């Protein structure tokens, strides 16, 4: 018996990075995944990768997690195809860095939409189905929601991610009477296309990676191994919690070496 056998999992942002890793990991554990991304062609490539491994994934069409209609029809496609929803992994998101004074309210709005609307719209669309299945939600936040950074000037980014952790807890409280669990994973310094262009770009001091205790950047699958556990029945007593997956990066003072 695999950890997620027969569970229907909505995963956003499956075109690349952590979302692609999620599609591969969840299907390897027996989940029936419904993926989606703004970058539809790349999401279809993920679908082919999953199919090659023998997994089950549907990518109904382009998905914009900041658009209510798009999210609703994505959820309906999942229910039509597989009869319900057991897991929501709200992974899609985007980052814009910039120091205080250099970011406008447009940047803040962009980040709130990308990081928070993605949960705000996805969870209500899936909620009746999660209540029926006594399912679970996993939000993907960021260590930026917990800690400030000396290496990445990013005033608006933590605003969205701090709120995400608070929303996760509230959803856990509202889900509890229905048997719905809600947790958050906060990645930090994971090597993806997205982070290479932002958090890990050369001008953002990638060299300080030594501070992560294992002495390497995280891989997308490191995050999704935690995600599989948290959305499986093994985590039945874990809800309202946030979990850091950053190789200890945020636990040590600058200067530590692996």
Ligand X SMILES: NC(=O)c1ccc[n+]([C@@H]2O[C@H](COP(=O)([O-])OP(=O)(O)OC[C@H]3O[C@@H](n4cnc5c(N)ncnc54)[C@H](O)[C@@H]3O)[C@@H](O)[C@H]2O)c1
Give yes or no for residue 89 binding ligand X (CB under 6 A): no
Residue 126 binding ligand X, by CB under 6 A: no
Q: Which is nearer to ligand X, 43 or 133 (CB)?
A: 43
Q: Three-state DSSP class for 224? A: helix
Distance CA 235, CA 175 (A): 15
Q: What is residue 88's three-state secondary structure?
A: strand
Q: Which of residues 213-232 bind ligand X (CB under 6 A)?
A: none
Residues 140-159 as x/- pattern, contact with ligand X by CB under 6 A: x-x-----------------
CB-nearer residue toward ligand X: 4 or 15: 15
Contacts of 252 (CB under 8 A, 6+ apart): 211, 213
Query: How many CB atoms sit inside 10 A of residue 42's CB?
Result: 16
CB 220 within 8 A of CB 11: no
Select 15 or 31, whichever has its Cβ closest to ligand X. Answer: 15
* Alpha carbons 258 and 256: distance in angstroms, whole number: 7
Do 180 and 130 contact (CB within 8 A), yes or no? yes
Q: Which stretch binds ligand X (CB under 6 A): 46-54, 124-132, 188-196, 224-232?
A: 188-196
Q: Which of 11, 13, 27, 249 binds ligand X (CB under 6 A)?
A: 13
Query: Which DSSP state fits 248?
Result: T
Number of residues that bind ligand X (CB under 6 A): 31
For residue 183, state whether it binds ligand X (rule: CB under 6 A). no
88 has which bridge partners?
10, 137
Nearer to ligand X, 22 or 235 (CB): 22
By CB under 6 A, tell whether 209 contacts ligand X: no
Q: How far from 36 is each of 74, 93, 123, 126, 177, CA to CA, in Å?
A: 8, 12, 15, 15, 30
- CA 47, CA 45: separation in Å to the nearest integer? 5
**Pick 133 or 200: Cβ nearer ligand X:** 200
Q: Which of 38, 78, 85, 125 binds ligand X (CB under 6 A)?
A: 38
Question: Interface with ligand X includes 46 (CB under 6 A)?
Answer: no
By beta-carbon proximity to ligand X, the closer residue of 133 and 149 is 149
Interacting residues with ligand X between 97 and 116 (CB under 6 A): 114
| Rounded Cα gap, residues 19 and 17, in angstroms | 5
Contact 45, 19 (CB under 8 A): no
Which residue's CB is nearer to ligand X, number 13 or number 175? 13
Residue 65 as a binder of ligand X (CB under 6 A): the answer is yes
123 is a site residue for ligand X (CB under 6 A): no
Contact positions vs ligand X (CB under 6 A): 12-13, 15-19, 37-39, 63-66, 91-95, 114, 140, 142, 187-190, 192-195, 199
């Amino acid at each position: 018996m695999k950890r997620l056998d027969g569970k229907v999992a909505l995963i956003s942002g499956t075109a690349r990075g952590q979302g692609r890793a999620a599609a591969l990991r969840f299907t390897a554990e027996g989940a029936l995944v419904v993926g989606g991304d703004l970058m539809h062609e790349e999401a279809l490539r993920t679908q082919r990768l999953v199919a090659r491994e023998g997994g089950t994934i549907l990518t109904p069409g382009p998905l914009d997690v900041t658009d209510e209609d798009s999210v609703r029809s994505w959820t309906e496609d999942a229910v039509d195809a597989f009869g319900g929803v057991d897991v929501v992994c709200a992974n899609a998101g985007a980052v814009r860095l910039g120091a205080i004074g250099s970011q406008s309210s447009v940047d803040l709005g962009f980040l709130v939409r990308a990081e928070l609307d993605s949960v705000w719209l996805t969870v209500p669309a899936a909620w009746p189905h999660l209540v029926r299945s006594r399912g679970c939600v996993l939000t993907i936040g960021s260590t930026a929601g917990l800690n400030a950074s000396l290496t990445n000037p990013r005033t608006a980014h933590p605003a969205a991610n701090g709120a995400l952790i608070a929303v996760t807890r509230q959803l856990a409280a509202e889900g509890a009477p229905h048997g719905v669990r809600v947790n958050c994973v906060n990645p930090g310094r994971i090597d993806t296309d997205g982070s290479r262009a932002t958090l890990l770009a050369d001008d953002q001091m990638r060299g300080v990676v030594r501070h992560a205790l294992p002495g390497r950047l995280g891989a997308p699958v490191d995050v999704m191994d935690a995600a599989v556990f948290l959305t499986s029945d093994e985590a039945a007593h874990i809800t309202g919690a946030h979990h850091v997956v950053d190789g200890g990066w945020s636990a040590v003072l600058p200067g530590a070496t692996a």
